[in-house]
Structure 1
């Protein structure tokens, strides 16, 4: 009975309140826990503070109401600064930014592992679409307009 009341409260709040205007970004550690509760496709967005095209996507594509709604409803949306120096635990492993030890703008292990191009190069902005089993389905290594972002996440 409590589950039914909770479910009705969620549904009614969706009807009464307007759509959220921001994406519910989560980190890899939260993703690890979320995937254990409910399997869902994942969109991963790697950025840096200095990336001009990343900032432009943040202002445009990731503010588009259709994209916000789609990502919040059908995906786990992960946003990660590719240059973070924080250790991140995911799937029982700890990932770090080894490049930061001897490089000014070192790239963290996670983006290097899952978002490097076939020639092992990493470029920004990087957006990946993964299925519910965490297999990469689509990748983009360029600025995405709202229309191109919609194509990427729609299937």
Structure 2
């Protein structure tokens, strides 16, 4: 009997690890599919520009996974995590953007620069909010504290409530 409970617990843990959507987490829309998603469901999009090597980006992503308000507000906005060093061409707002080398094994994606640059710099992470017309309405380079994230989510919810 004890062994069967252990087995059930193991299966449950593996299921949660392999299928994170089962936990009710916000699913990130690939940046190349974001415009199509926004055409089918007219609501703003929140884009988190990151890199794989950025420890602050990983901390911000972990904060999002744990934030219940962020998880429950996903009906009010689209969400996309965008790796600024992806090498694939991406079509966004009817323009194709490409990766540009800046060194031997380094570079950045032009779309990340177009969305996130401030004063000719790109910081990681960078938060970008675009409206239904893919126009940038908010940009913040750096980590959003939980209180700032809650304020942003509250504003998105109010905006969507007013439109209904």
Larger radius of gyration: 2
Aligned residues, how many? Answer: 134
TM-score, scaled to structure 1: 0.78
Q: Tell me, which stretches of 5 or more residues in structure 2 are unaligned?
A: 1-21, 156-164
Aligned-CA RMSD value: 1.8
1:69 lines up with 2:72 in the alignment: yes
Q: Is the 8 A contact 1:20 1:69 kept in 2?
A: no
Name the structure with the higher helix share.
2
> Where has structure 1 moved over 4 Å in runs of 4 or more?
none
Distance 1:91 1:134 in 2: 7
SS in 1 for 2:85: coil
Q: Tell me, which stretches of 5 or more residues in structure 1 are unaligned?
A: 1-18
C-alpha deviations, 1:29-80, integer Å up to 9, x for none? 221211222211110101111111111111113430111111x210110111
Distance 1:134 1:34 in 2: 11
Larger deviation, residues 77-86 vs 89-98: 89-98
Distance 1:53 1:73 in 2: 26
Larger deviation, residues 105-114 vs 56-65: 56-65
